[in-house]
Structure formats: structure tokens, C-alpha cells
Amino acid sequence: MTQISQRGKPAILICSEPFAMLAKGQARIDGVPNLAMVQIDHPLGGMNSAIVHERVEQATPQVLAHLRSMFAL
Amino acid sequence: MTQEIEAYLQGGSMTVDAPEDIEEALAYSMSQGWGDGLPIIPPTPQRVERMLAYWDRPWNESAGVFAPRDAQILPVQVAANAVMAGCKPAYFPLVMLIIQAMCEAPFNLRGVQSTTHPCAPLAIFNGPIGRELGINSGHNAFGPGCQANATIGRAVRLAMVNIAGAVPGVGDMATMGAPGKYSFVVAENDACSPWEPLHVERGYDPGVTTVTVVAAEAPFNVNDHFSKDAAGLLKMIAGTIASTGANNWYYESNAVVALSPEHAKTFADAGLTKSQVQQLLFESSTIALGDLSTENIEERFRKRDPARFANAPLDTRLTIVQNPADLIVIVLGGLGKHSMYLPTFGATRAVTRALKLSNGRTADSIEDFRAAKR
């Protein structure tokens, strides 16, 4: 995601909360300290579709907020 | 040189007034997040200088970039971690060699450091200097009792945490971790091997000292005291490899089989070369696609590689590695009929690197480093 952002393309990283610190640190190291980031509850892997939908509902407003900010909507 | 190091450390606010008492020093190091939980030797400038006596390059000349923090690999900082780990100064070039090997791109150190997978860098030494320093290749090679095995790997781990930022739960997200994260260093038991040693197989002269680093899981034992021939032993080892949990089924990588000298002899007595053993294990350690859960088949195979797997039947065979030579076979350990299998992180390749002096020559003895320093 940092490489996409470095190419000037809009990029939003979605990660579960326990991995946020690692993700922020890595984005900083990769030269993209302000990488747009969306946090959702952990875990995501191996969950049934009802829980995946919950994660989508968590992520969607955050993604939209980032998009509004990126494109001044 | 001590004064130079002290000035450097003080300039970077890297010196502290740590307690001299060993128990208080341990408590202090843990409070600072420096340790692995075991007692450390305080890295005073004098001790660091003694460590650097075996480094024939400048103590502040970077040896590369250390992921995931992308920190510079400064020998003076690595030396401080080697002191903390309990290394003899003569071990220091091997600590640096492991770190430099891990930082080569195919190893994917960034992934290895931060993954939830329980991999740790296994360092396999070949060549004369491993013998000179007494790295254990015999009884209990993966276990305790040898200062070189215990402290060289511990120094690497401390550097991975303190310099590279692989702090558990922050930069190192391993779900379980593994005992090998304390230290994971062996030398191949080439004196008891019927075949060419690993570094010769990988293109080096026998007299060159090398390390091969592999991002490996904890060893999985293969107990076989009763098979009298190669076919029986092959079946037992292949059966151990053919279990569904390894990352290797999903990536192009290496895996390791550490044969005890007695098991290696069983194969050699049947007239098998090492490459033939690799070929036979490759062919006989497969699992069926249908051995995996429905979701793993769908996500890991049908969606990721539809050209091969979209309509593949459930009896399609999967191999643990892509090529027989990717199955690293070494001879290790003492008497007895136990061999070991070590899967890997998967998104990684083994890297072999030679121990060289700053003039580019390979070192014949560890004392060459100290002599070149003068």
C-alpha cells in the first residue's frame, strides 16, 4: 500500500486494531507517514459472513471519510 | 578506541548509568525493553571495544539496512548486543555474518520479522571457523550447553529487537513465537556426513566458512529406530513432512531436513546420494489438495492460481517445495535415530553467505580478523 501511495495513487490501508502500530511504523519507515489508515476489530480471517459484514460496516464510514478528504468532496 | 566509542555513544545519548549489580542490571534492561528476559552482561564501552577487536572494518561503518525499522547496521551497536548476549569477542564476525545474510533480499527479513508465523532465523554454519569456535554440530545441537550456539543466535535476536525494532507485539507480531527466537544456531556435522556439506552443494569451496540462514519453524522430530532400509526411513520422514499446517504448501520456498548421522548412513548404505534423497523425499512427501479444508483450497489455490487449480480435482498432489534441491538436507546431531524436519515461513528463501575479511579474502581462521585489524 505504501508503494501505491508513493506512486501518487490514492491508497487506504485497512488493518485490524492490534496491527495498527506495526502498520503506522512501517508506513513511516517507507516514507509515507500520513498513509490513510482504517482500523477494524480483530480478527478478520476465518470469520463467517455476518462478522465480515460487521467489519465492512466498521470500515465503510472510515473509507468514505478518507475519500472525501482525498478528493475534497 | 574506547574514548572514541564513548564519545560516539555520549554524543548520541546512548550511554546510561546502569546498575553494576547483575540482578539490578537485568531489571534495568527489561525496564528499557532491551532484553529477551534472560540475564545480560552490561555492554560497557570497554567490553564493546573487546568485541570490536575481531571486526576489521570501522566500528561505525554501516554493514547494511536492518528491517523492519530500516536501521543502519552499525558494528558498534551490534557489538553491544553481542556483549549483552554473552558472546566471546571471537564470535562477533559470525554474528555480523548472520545479520548480513538475513538482510539479503531473498530472505525477506521485513516479512520474517513482523509476521504472525512462528519462524526464527536458523543459522547453519559450514566450514573451518565453525569448528574452530566450537559450534555444536553433535549431540543436542539444537539444545543447550554450548556457548557459541547459545550466544551467537541470542546476539542476533537482541540486535533484531534492539536495532531492527522487532519488539514482540509491536514490530514482531508472531502469534505464538518459537523457542528458536532465543537462539537458533548450529554447524552441520560434516565430519559424520556421507555426502558433500551444504555449502559445497550451494557452490562454495569446502575450506570456505559460510552461514546459511533459513526462516524456519521449530524442529519436528522423526523417530525411526526400526526401519532397516532406505525405503522404510524415507516413508517415515516423508510422512512427517506431509502434514497440512506448514506455510510451505502455499509458497515457493525451502524446507529443511536435518538427518542424524545414523539415518544419513542408512541412505548412503543404500547407495543414495544427497540429491537422490532430496528427489525421493520431494516425490513421496506430497499431500492431496483435498487434505486441506474447503476454505483453504478455495482461497489459497483456486482463487490464487486459477490456471492450475480452478478445476483441479481433490486428489491433485501438492509438493512441499517447488524443486527437490529446495529441500535443504543437512547432517546434524549425535548418536541415535532421530532426524528432524523444519518447515519455513514460506515467503522467504534460504541465503548462504561466506565469511570474508574487509579485503575480500575468505577467512581461514577467526584470528585473521584480529590480525587484519592491527
> What mean pLDDT comes out for the span B286-312?
97
Query: Residue-wise over B203-218: b if at least 16 C-beta within 10 A, else e?
Result: ebeeebbbbbbbbbbb
E-only strand ranges, chain B? 65-66, 71-72, 120-126, 185-187, 210-216, 220-223, 255-259, 287-288, 317-318, 327-331, 338-342, 351-354
At B341, is the pLDDT very low, low, confident or very high (cuts 50, 70, 90)? very high
Domains of chain B, by residue range, sit at 1-217+351-374
- B68–A21 CB contact, under 8 Å: no
Q: What's the pLDDT score for residue B20?
A: 75
pLDDT value at B16 more than 80? no
B-chain residue closest to A48, CA distance: B295
Q: What is the ipTM of this complex?
A: 0.81
B343-to-B142, B144, B249, B337, B348 alpha-carbon distances in Å:
15, 22, 10, 20, 11
pLDDT value at B272 more than 90? yes
Separation between Cα atoms, residue B352 and residue B22, nearest integer Å: 37
> What mean pLDDT comes out for the span B38-49?
93
Residues from chain B contacting residue A46 (CB–CB below 8 Å): 295
Separation between Cα atoms, residue B14 and residue B41, nearest integer Å: 16
- B68–A18 CB contact, under 8 Å: no
DSSP B105-132: GGG-HHHHHH-SS--EEEEEEESHHHHH
Percent of chain B with pLDDT over 90: 90
Query: Nearest CB to A21: which of B69, B170, B295?
Result: B170
Write down the mean pLDDT value for chain A: 92
**Strand-strand pairing, A36-40 and A12-16:** parallel
Query: Nearest CB to B70: which of A21, A29, A46?
Result: A29
At B1, is the pLDDT very low, low, confident or very high (cuts 50, 70, 90)? low
pLDDT value at B204 more than 90? yes
pLDDT value at B81 more than 70? yes
Which range (A45-49, B92-96, B124-128, B164-168) has the least confidence?
A45-49
> What mean pLDDT comes out for the span B189-212?
98
Cell of A14: 485497512
pLDDT value at B313 more than 80? yes
Q: Is B114 on the interface with A (CB under 8 A)?
A: yes
Phi, psi of B284 (to 5 degrees): -105, 0
Q: Which helix (H) or strand (E) holds B190?
A: none
Query: Nearest CB to B173: which of A19, A29, A46?
Result: A19
Q: What's the pLDDT score for residue A17?
A: 92
Residues from chain B contacting residue A19 (CB–CB below 8 Å): 173
Can you give the residue range of the structural domain that contains A43? 2-71
pLDDT value at A10 more than 70? yes
Separation between Cα atoms, residue B108 and residue B125, nearest integer Å: 20
Chain B nearest CA to A10, separation (Å): 24
- B69–A29 CB contact, under 8 Å: yes
pLDDT value at B14 more than 80? no
- B165–A25 CB contact, under 8 Å: yes
Separation between Cα atoms, residue A38 and residue B245, nearest integer Å: 31
Chain A nearest CA to B316, separation (Å): 24
> What mean pLDDT comes out for the span B166-190?
96
Q: Is B93 on the interface with A (CB under 8 A)?
A: no
- A25–B69 CB contact, under 8 Å: yes
Write down the mean pLDDT value for chain B: 95
Helix axis angle, B2-11 relative to B75-85, nearest 10°? 100
Q: What's the pLDDT score for residue A47?
A: 86
Q: What's the pLDDT score for residue B374?
A: 74
- A18–B70 CB contact, under 8 Å: no
Chain B nearest CA to A22, separation (Å): 6
pLDDT value at B3 more than 80? no
Sheet hosting strand B255-259, strand order edge to edge: B220-223, B338-342, B255-259, B327-331
Collect all residues from A whose CB is shorter than 8 A from any CB in B.
Answer: 18-19, 21-22, 25-26, 29, 46
| Domain total of chain A | 1
Which range (A22-26, B103-107, B305-309, B323-327) has the least confidence?
A22-26
pLDDT value at A49 more than 80? yes
At B17, is the pLDDT very low, low, confident or very high (cuts 50, 70, 90)? confident
Q: What's the pLDDT score for residue A73?
A: 79
> What mean pLDDT comes out for the span B354-363?
96
Chain B nearest CA to A29, separation (Å): 6
Residues from chain B contacting residue A25 (CB–CB below 8 Å): 68-69, 165, 170-171
Q: What's the pLDDT score for residue B13?
A: 61
> What mean pLDDT comes out for the span B78-105?
98
- A29–B68 CB contact, under 8 Å: yes
Q: What's the pLDDT score for residue B322?
A: 96
> What mean pLDDT comes out for the span B142-150?
98
The gap between the terminal CA atoms of chain B, to the nearest Å, is 12
Q: Give chain A's radius of gyration (CA, Å).
A: 13
Chain B nearest CA to A24, separation (Å): 10
Cell of B309: 487449480
Structure-derived torsion over alpha carbons of residues B158, B160, B162, B166, reported in degrees to the nearest 10: -120
